[in-house]
Amino acid sequence: MKTRHPYFETQLSNGVQVIAERFENVQSASIGFFIKSGVLYELTQHLGISHFIEHMLFKGTKKRSAKDIARQFDRMLLPQRITPVSTQG
Identify the segments of the chain with pLDDT beneath 50.
89
pLDDT of residue 5: 67
pLDDT of residue 82: 56
Per-residue pLDDT of 62-73, as tens digits, reads 898 888 888 887
Query: What number of CA atoms fall less than 13 Å from residue 62's CA on the CB side?
Result: 0
pLDDT of residue 57: 74
The answer to whether the beta carbons of residues 21 and 5 sit under 8 Å apart is: yes
pLDDT of residue 88: 52
Q: Is residue 19 helix, strand or coil?
A: strand
**Residue 5 buriedness (CB in 10 A; 0-12 / 13-18 / 19+):** exposed
Q: Is residue 18 helix, strand or coil?
A: strand
pLDDT of residue 48: 87
Tell me which of 21, 24, 42, 54 is the catalytic residue: 54
9 carries an active-site annotation: no
Cα(72)–Cα(56) distance, rounded to whole angstroms?
Answer: 12
pLDDT of residue 52: 85
What DSSP designation does 41 have? Answer: T
Which of 86, 79, 89 has its CA nearest to residue 57? 86
Domain spans in the chain, listed from the N-terminal domain onward? 7-81
